[in-house]
Structures are given as structure tokens and as C-alpha cells.
């Protein structure tokens, strides 16, 4: 028996807004700040950041803390302190962290089609949720900055769920909060393994938003779109059959 769609879940970063654009702008700004503070050659700072990020992610694999930028900056400065006469202080780490997010939030933009889609779902009585990796505070602030916090019914971060996607916990917690079954949900995301494969294993329908023609890595998404407007049109089509 075909189940009707009662809820649509969305990933946040690079699904409902262009995360990469914001991250690149913020990174460029703080890399220069680190260069100025430490006199490290500017071309080496991104490499040090990448190394620090990988070390933190390996240490905290599968947890929300593995996404915390302050840990990446702390790791960079710990490495630098072993080579520097003038030590980097905690206030310097906080300054870099705050500068990163200041530029990130100044760059964040929402698409017109995103607002139209969320308004349409409200009108149709379809419940909506965000299922996202990272800390709760960071992701809530993004929702507010995007101006879509009043159009989303629930949010589940990996910090709240205890595990990153594709673990079942974030998806099932979102379904529980919305009082629907997993098979009554559609999951929309840009990460074929974390968002789509993780959701489809639970019986959810997956919509892969593949803006940059990435390989599917052996996963067969139920649906694939390339833009938010295509996503909107697909969801309208699915709900007409509901």
C-alpha cells in the first residue's frame, strides 16, 4: 500500500542555501587574519587549516563536535605555538572564530524558490523539518539569518541526536518530533551518502539536490534535481499524487 507524504525533511548546508560560498568568503578573511597575527606565509594557512580540520574530524568522528570551527582554529594555534616566540592566547582563538562567523553570516543568502517552496508546504499542511550535522546553536542561527525559522516545524542537529548522518538517530528523531512514520517522510539533501542513503535505508524517499553533477557513489536516489526550482516543481508533482 502506497504511503502518503506527511513530512518533508531538509538538510541545511548546501541544500537550502549556498554554504560553500559563505565558507569560502569567511575562510579567506580569517586566513589573512591568521597570516597577519602569526606571520605565517599566507599560502600555508589554508593547508594548516585543512590539516587541523582533518585531525579534529578523525578524533571526533561522527559527532557534532567534529564540525566546530573553534576546535579547528585552536588546533592550528596549538601547532603554531610550538614554533613561535609570542604565544597565541585564547582571546586570539575567540577573535578568529567570531570573525569567521561575522563574514559567513554577512554572506548568507536565501533563494526566492526556497521561500516559495516552504510557503507552499505550509499551505498544503505538509510538516517540515531540518536534519543537519553540526551544533544546535550554529544551525539555529543560520535558520534565523535566512529568515526561514518561522517556516520550519522542527530542527534536529547531530548535537541533539548524538550522531551525525547517515546514522538513523537524526532522521528518526525528526520523524518522532513531527509525529509521522519514517516511510511518510521525504528527505532532501545534497550529500548522497549522508542525506540520501541514510534516509532511504529507513524507508524515506530521497531527493538528491545535485547542483554540481557529483558522482552518485553507487547510491540510487529515488529522485534527483539540480536546482531549488526543480525541487519545488518535483515536490508539487509528488504532492498532487498524494
- Strand order from edge to edge, sheet including 223-225: 154-157, 127-132, 7-10, 185-189, 205-209, 223-225
pTM confidence score: 0.93
- Confidence at 83, pLDDT banded by 50, 70, 90: low
Strand ranges, E, within 72-200: 127-132, 154-157, 185-189
The tens digit of pLDDT for each residue in 171-189 reads: 999 999 999 999 999 999 9
pLDDT band at 40 (very low <50, low <70, confident <90, very high): confident
Instruction: Answer whether residue 1 shows pLDDT above 60.
Output: no
> What pLDDT, on the 0 to 100 scale, is given for residue 86?
60
Q: How far apart are CA 19 and CA 189, in angstroms?
A: 13
5-14, 29-38, 82-91, 132-141: range with lowest mean pLDDT: 82-91
| Residue-level pLDDT at 92 | 87
Say what the alpha-carbon torsion angle 2, 117, 138, 186 is, to the nearest 10 degrees. 10
What's the confidence (pLDDT) of residue 79? 79
The whole-angstrom separation of Cα 46 and Cα 49 is 5
Alpha-carbon distance 239 to 200, whole Å? 19
C-alpha distances in angstroms, 142 versus 89, 132, 145, 155?
28, 11, 5, 12
**pLDDT of 30 over the 60 cut:** yes
Residue-level pLDDT at 38: 83
Amino acid at each position: 500500500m502506497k504511503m502518503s507524504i506527511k513530512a518533508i525533511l531538509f538538510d541545511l548546508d548546501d541544500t537550502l542555501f549556498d554554504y560553500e560560498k559563505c565558507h569560502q568568503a569567511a575562510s579567506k578573511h580569517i586566513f589573512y587574519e591568521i597570516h597577519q597575527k602569526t606571520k605565517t606565509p599566507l599560502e600555508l594557512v589554508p593547508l594548516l587549516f585543512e590539516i587541523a580540520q582533518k585531525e579534529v574530524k578523525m578524533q571526533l568522528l561522527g559527532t557534532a563536535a567534529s564540525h566546530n570551527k573553534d576546535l579547528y582554529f585552536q588546533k592550528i594555534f596549538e601547532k603554531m605555538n610550538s614554533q613561535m616566540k609570542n604565544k597565541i592566547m585564547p582571546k586570539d582563538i575567540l577573535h578568529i572564530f567570531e570573525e569567521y562567523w561575522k563574514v559567513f553570516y554577512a554572506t548568507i543568502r536565501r533563494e526566492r524558490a526556497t521561500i516559495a517552496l516552504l510557503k507552499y508546504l505550509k499551505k498544503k499542511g505538509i510538516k517540515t523539518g531540518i536534519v543537519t550535522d553540526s551544533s544546535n546553536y550554529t544551525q539555529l542561527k543560520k535558520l534565523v539569518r535566512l529568515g526561514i525559522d518561522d517556516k520550519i516545524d522542527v530542527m534536529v542537529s547531530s548535537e541533539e541526536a548524538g550522531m551525525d548522518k547517515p546514522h538513523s538517530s537524526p532522521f528518526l528523531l525528526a520523524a518522532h518530533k513531527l509525529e509521522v512514520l519514517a516511510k511518510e517522510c521525504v528527505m532532501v539533501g545534497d550529500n548522497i551518502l549522508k542525506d540520501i542513503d541514510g534516509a532511504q535505508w529507513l524507508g524515506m524517499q530521497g531527493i538528491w539536490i545535485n547542483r554540481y553533477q557529483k558522482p552518485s557513489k553507487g547510491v540510487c536516489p529515488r529522485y534527483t534535481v539540480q536546482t531549488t526550482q526543480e525541487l519545488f516543481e518535483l515536490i508539487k508533482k509528488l504532492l498532487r499524487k498524494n
